[in-house]
Amino acid sequence: MHELFIKHQERLELALLHCKNRSYWSPFQESPSSKYHPEGARLKAKERYDELLGEIFPLSQPASIGLVGKEVSPYTQKELGIRYPQHSPNQLIEASKCAQKHWTRSTTEARVGVCMEILDQLAHNCFLNTYASMHTAGMSFMMGFAGSGANALDRGLEALAHAYKAMADIPYQTVFRRSFARGPVVRIDKHYHIVGRGVAVVICCGTFPTWNALPALFANLATGNPVILKPHPNGILPVALVVQTGRRVLAKYGFDPNLILLAADEADNPITIPLMENPHTAIIDFTGSPTFGTWIEENFHKKLVFTETAGCNSVIMESTDNYDGMIHAIAQSLCLFSSQMCTSAQNIFIPAQGVQHKGHRISFEKVQQDIIDRIDVLTADPKVAAALCGCIMSPRTYHDMNQLRELALQQNALLRDSVHYVHPQYPHAATATPMLVAAEFSNSTLYRKEYFGPMAFVIKAPNAQKALEQAALDAKECGSIASYAYSRNTTFLEEIEEAFLDAGASIGCNLIQHLPINFSAAYSDFHVTGLNPAGNACLTDIAFVASRFRIVQIKKER
Amino acid sequence: MHELFIKHQERLELALLHCKNRSYWSPFQESPSSKYHPEGARLKAKERYDELLGEIFPLSQPASIGLVGKEVSPYTQKELGIRYPQHSPNQLIEASKCAQKHWTRSTTEARVGVCMEILDQLAHNCFLNTYASMHTAGMSFMMGFAGSGANALDRGLEALAHAYKAMADIPYQTVFRRSFARGPVVRIDKHYHIVGRGVAVVICCGTFPTWNALPALFANLATGNPVILKPHPNGILPVALVVQTGRRVLAKYGFDPNLILLAADEADNPITIPLMENPHTAIIDFTGSPTFGTWIEENFHKKLVFTETAGCNSVIMESTDNYDGMIHAIAQSLCLFSSQMCTSAQNIFIPAQGVQHKGHRISFEKVQQDIIDRIDVLTADPKVAAALCGCIMSPRTYHDMNQLRELALQQNALLRDSVHYVHPQYPHAATATPMLVAAEFSNSTLYRKEYFGPMAFVIKAPNAQKALEQAALDAKECGSIASYAYSRNTTFLEEIEEAFLDAGASIGCNLIQHLPINFSAAYSDFHVTGLNPAGNACLTDIAFVASRFRIVQIKKER
């Protein structure tokens, strides 16, 4: 048994247990509170982050052809000036291929042990990763610490546990004894070898650089595949930190560090497609836009492709016994990380006759206004707004918002304009509070697609039933990762459940209390169903890991 | 817990245990000996078979558009005259779709229990299935009884056990409790629904009508997908018997019998492609030729496609301590079911300097001649030949043999011609003993493809090392399901293992004793690696079942 497997076995077993129980658990620290971390950890990390700026990132990859990197901080609007090694796609694939053989011949326990150690080492890097995530993805400090930190590590461990589970059921060898017809007993030694499929390319997303990348990294690595991480051109640093740690651990334990490679590029010279096209690339994990995701699914069908994209997440309201809680939950979902999450609510269906609350009817107009007001409240205090909304990652989002604003103004449908909030620490931060647009129920071409960023629609539905039908249809045909419903009517709740089961989309009902409704919990929430267009990969079910490796069998008769 | 699950739970648990141990086990009776079966069972089955001939097959499927069926017995060369209901592909898909919803909403235990009961009922049908398999696929009585009977049921149970395992890890519900930031504990009820992907179309093969079909049937059915079985136009009866039994069990336990449908057709009016093309068809399982298999993989990449095709299986000889056993094993592999098996040997590499046997060298010429002689011996006695070779399923095979014979004669390379053996019971039986052709080592275009039927090549390799290199390359590039090697040289055995691991192909070394080397054992042998072109589906690993279902999650806060 590999020393690293023994070292981390208890944690792995707990992860397996919780994947099965699907209750709350995390071995990683989600809180940045100083009481949970070594003295000065946060400050030291900030210093380390500052030292990285303007320098060549220390990463000993194979011979590079130059340097790349043009990341701009959404907080300062300044270039980070960090330069990463540049490689041709072929160079990376070659180095990756060479690294595979020895790795795929090692034991499951060795591979899983090394992955556990990398996760553990990454956990020691949580503050530095926070600053890296803030100044690339535009996350708030808290989101960077938890969402890009502990929560991402949890998703990574969850995928690793599933990979281990899928492989652990296959013994290394067995002795097969049987007689045939009336002959004597035959004895055959059978050896079962787990073999990775080949080079795995992981296309990371800009707004959540690690949350999807870590599951893909560990699912691939554990099952015997070398991994090339291709970060978003404005999200290199958080990924480079993962690669740096991973390579250090691999080398320390005698494995080829090229099992984890960084494929940094710049927006005007992208290498994503050549990396995927290479015949040695066997597995592609993609997180990003539905358009590119669908294109990948259609163009690389000879490879194993896992996608997590997006759709249009709906909110259906019928009745509630906690009106304030409901309004707060919805408003918070629109504000959280400026709706740059695949679980952010977008299409808010309010029945024309309003919403029932403890026997009383609250009018459509009041519900709509209360959401607007609550957004105003949540974003009024710059300190609160900063913690909640963070920054806008991509200038493209402003472009989209301008377009939608123009359209809404033409139609007199702008319910709430998006405004900058002034960040208390970073006066130049790219900020934006949610824009709310009124959409006709019948104008579904407007709202049946993803608007990435702080844009949402209030849609007056003829009634709750029609709202449900439309939301379920949109989920089925246009994709949805998370939808939300509010009803205290048992029959209607059953109808919601049936409609979303038919649509192949997950839904959260009456989510109100002190957990942001956007939150997707590792070991508990299955993220992405694969039954609607918002991606085919589920974090993490057994299908996410099972086909990343294959079994070659060597039989020997004595 | 469903009554059928409880009824069969012990058998299921044993299957799960043996899938993990991968030792020999079967709950089904592989021997037709009268001591294991009710008195007169065989005779009664023969009578039932005879009664079916010339009649409309009793199958209460939805309204049909007519009758089809032009099966010809390879034993009698006469039409069976059995007529099956004919349906348009759309009719079948519609009926299938309607059946799905209730099924996918039932519990895992109910679905698995029903599948276990179907398997059990099929086991009572083993003699009738034998006659059906003989007179369609051309199997010998023994092959029909075991290979199309107990062995196929075992593969079906193996796939079902894997499906159960993949689903059983997902609880129906959990209570998620945690606090966020400094808030109170939130309590969310989470329900996890297993949802089938949609209609599953299973394309069965002509020579093994049930061995691949049963794993696909039960993997699909257990995971919530309705199944349409599309038999080979000359292999309808064995599949119709499965459908008949399956529908009876489904109906008896209150499920829609249309969860299992027969899609019979005739060779001149095939419905395979329209069935696969239908947008509601979500899963395709295909067993058959590499050409059609590859075409399906390339054309239906938006569906989940599982293929088991073929390649060119090699034999590498270097040394042996049981020369007679080796010669017998190879000759037997060429004769068994007239090489109409995906595990039949085809390319026999003999080193030019011969083969080492206990310190002595046996010349190339002698090895070659001994294989020929052993085939002669094995096929000399019509009774033995009949039990071993069975019949040729398709007239197409004679066509291919004629072509190869012509080519071999031109090149003076026909080592052993294929001849009819006279079947002791069926004077008109389509029989053929193995044809052996000498191929130049360098003439790899000749032997780097599948010859389906009793055709094999003897290839004089410069040495064992070169033979290994060529065989491994062929497996990697042209596909191989089973290759064979003979060596008592530990170093060379390690090289074989390395070469085949690199090629992504399984190999059996020194298989000699009283088990035909072609034999692939359920619960023990992983059949098809998915790393070479001979198919992407493995009987049965967890990847064979894991993506056939998806998980839809309904969260509810109290």
Tens of pLDDT along chain A (558 residues) come to: 899 999 999 999 999 999 999 999 999 999 999 999 999 999 999 999 999 999 999 998 998 999 999 999 999 999 999 999 999 999 999 999 999 989 999 999 999 999 999 999 999 999 999 999 999 999 999 999 999 999 999 999 999 999 999 999 999 999 999 887 778 888 999 999 999 999 999 999 999 999 999 999 999 999 999 999 999 999 999 999 999 999 999 999 999 999 999 999 999 999 999 999 999 999 999 999 999 999 999 899 889 999 999 999 999 999 999 999 999 999 999 999 999 999 999 999 999 999 999 989 999 999 999 999 999 999 999 999 999 999 999 999 999 999 999 999 999 999 999 999 999 999 999 999 999 999 999 999 999 999 999 999 999 999 999 999 999 999 999 999 999 999 999 999 999 999 999 999 999 999 997 788 999 999 999 999 999 999 999 999 999 999 999 999 999 997
For residue A552, give the chain B residue with the closest CA: B506
Nearest CB to B174; choose among A191, A524, A547: A524
Query: How distant, in Å, are the alpha carbons of B157, B240, B277 from that of B221?
Result: 12, 17, 20
Cβ-Cβ contacts under 8 Å for B498 (sequence gap 6 or more) = none
Is the CATH number of domain A3-309+537-557 3.20.20.100?
A: no
Superfamily of domain B3-14+44-73+85-309+537-557: Aldehyde Dehydrogenase; Chain A, domain 1 (3.40.605.10)
Q: Sort out which chain B residues have CB atoms less than 8 A from A145's CB and list them.
A: none
Query: Is B550 within 8 Å of chain A by CB?
Result: yes
Residue B555 tokens read as 């969260």
B195 contacts A531? CB cut-off 8 A: yes
Q: Are A451 and A400 in contact (CB under 8 A)?
A: yes
Residues of A in contact with B506 (CB under 8 A): 552-555
Residue A188 CA to residue A185 CA, distance in Å, equals 10
Contact: B180, A516; criterion CB under 8 Å:
yes
What is the length of chain A? 558
Tokens of B343: 């595990």
Instruction: Return the CATH number of A314-509, one of 3.50.50.60, 3.40.309.10, 3.40.605.10, 3.30.1050.10.
Output: 3.40.309.10
What is the DSSP-derived secondary structure letter of residue A194? E
Identity of the residue in B23, B174, B511 whose CB atom sits nearest the CB atom of A23: B174
The contacts of residue A411 (CB under 8 Å, 6+ apart) are none
The answer to whether A480 contacts chain B (CB < 8 Å) is: no
| DSSP state string for A488-517 | --HHHHHHHHHHHHHHT--EEES--SSS-T
Q: Which residue, among A108, A313, A513, would best test binding to B if mutated, counting the most B CBs under 10 Å from its CB?
A: A513
Q: How many angstroms separate the CA atoms of B150 and B122, rounded?
A: 10
The closest CB to that of B515, out of A24, A186, A301, belongs to: A186
| Cα–Cα distance, B89 to B279 (Å, whole number) | 12
For an interface test with B, the pick among A21, A551, A558 (most B C-beta atoms closer than 10 Å) comes out as A551
With beta carbons under 8 A apart, name residues in chain B contacting A164. Answer: none
**What ipTM score was computed for the predicted complex, to two decimals?**
0.96
DSSP run (H or E) holding B135: helix B126-137
B509/A557 touch (CB, cutoff 8 Å), yes or no? yes
Chain B nearest CA to A198, separation (Å): 10
Q: A512 vs B557: CB contact, 8 Å cut-off?
A: yes
CA separation for the pair A479, A476 (Å, rounded)? 6
Model pLDDT, residue B312? 94
Tell whether B197 is within 8 A of chain A (Cβ). Answer: yes
| Domain ranges for chain A | 3-309+537-557, 314-509
Instruction: Give the whole-angstrom CA distance, residue A200 versus residue A255.
Output: 17
Q: Which residues of B touch A301 (CB under 8 A)?
A: 298, 301-302
- Is B268 an 8 Å CB contact of chain A? no
Which residue in chain B has the smallest CA separation from A26?
B178
Contacts A472 to B, Cβ<8 Å = none
Q: Which residues pair with A373 in a beta bridge?
A: none
Question: For B24, which of A165, A178, A550 is closest by C-beta distance?
Answer: A178
Read off the amino acid at residue A515: L
Across the interface, which of A509, A510, A529 has its CB nearest the CB of B551? A529
Chain B contact present for A166, CB below 8 A: yes
Q: For an interface test with A, give the residue of B284, B512, B542 to mutate (most A CBs within 10 A).
A: B542
CB of A177 within 8 Å of any CB in chain B? yes
Q: What is the CA radius of gyration of chain A?
A: 25
In chain B, whose CA is at the least distance from the CA of A496? B554
Q: Does A21 touch chain B (CB under 8 A)?
A: yes
Q: pLDDT of chain B along its 558 residues, tens only?
A: 899 999 999 999 999 999 999 999 999 999 999 999 999 999 999 999 999 999 999 998 998 999 999 999 999 999 999 999 999 999 999 999 999 989 989 999 999 999 999 999 999 999 999 999 999 999 999 999 999 999 999 999 999 999 999 999 999 999 999 887 778 888 999 999 999 999 999 999 999 999 999 999 999 999 999 999 999 999 999 999 999 999 999 999 999 999 999 999 999 999 999 999 999 999 999 999 999 999 999 899 889 999 999 999 999 999 999 999 999 999 999 999 999 999 999 999 999 999 999 999 999 999 999 999 999 999 999 999 999 999 999 999 999 999 999 999 999 999 999 999 999 999 999 999 999 999 999 999 999 999 999 999 999 999 999 999 999 999 999 999 999 999 999 999 999 999 999 999 999 999 997 788 999 999 999 999 999 999 999 999 999 999 999 999 999 997
pLDDT at A127: 97
**CA–CA min distance B261, chain A (Å):** 22
Residue A515: per-residue pLDDT: 82
**Domains B3-14+44-73+85-309+537-557 and B314-509 fall in the same CATH topology:** no
d(CA B298, CA B176): 43
Q: Chain A residues with CB inside 8 Å of B178's CB?
A: 24, 515, 521
- Are the beta carbons of B501 and A195 separated by less than 8 Å? yes
Q: DSSP alpha helices (H): ranges in A124-212?
A: 126-137, 141-145, 151-168
Residue in B23, B174, B547 nearest the CB of A22: B174
Q: How far A555 CA sits from the closest chain B CA (Å)?
A: 4
pTM over 0.90: yes
Which of A23, A183, A552 has the CB atom closest to B176's CB atom? A23
Q: How far is the C-alpha of A154 from the C-alpha of A240, rounded, in Å?
A: 19
Which structure tokens are listed for A440? Answer: 């006709």
d(CA B127, CA B141): 9
pLDDT value at residue B125: 93
Residue A382 structure tokens: 């710059």
Residues of chain B in contact with residue A514, where contact means CB-CB under 8 angstroms, are 179-181, 183-184, 186
Contacts of A500 in chain B (CB under 8 A): 552, 554
Distance CA(B418)–CA(B428), nearest Å, equals: 17
Number of other CB atoms surrounding residue A124 within 10 Å: 13
- Is residue A254 helix, strand or coil? coil
Residues of B in contact with A542 (CB under 8 A): 166, 169, 542, 546
Nearest neighbour of B508 by CB, restricted to A171, A184, A555? A555
Strands (E), A365-439: 414-416, 435-439
Distance from the Cα of A547 to chain B's closest Cα (Å) equals 5
How far, in Å, are A8, A10, A19, A22, A164 from residue A14 at the CA level?
Answer: 10, 6, 9, 11, 13
CB contacts < 8 A (A, B): 230
Q: Are A297 and A141 in contact (CB under 8 A)?
A: no
At A183 the pLDDT is 83
Distance from CA of B405 to the nearest CA of A (A): 34
A195 touches chain B (CB under 8 A): yes
Chain B: residue whose CA lies nearest to A527:
B553
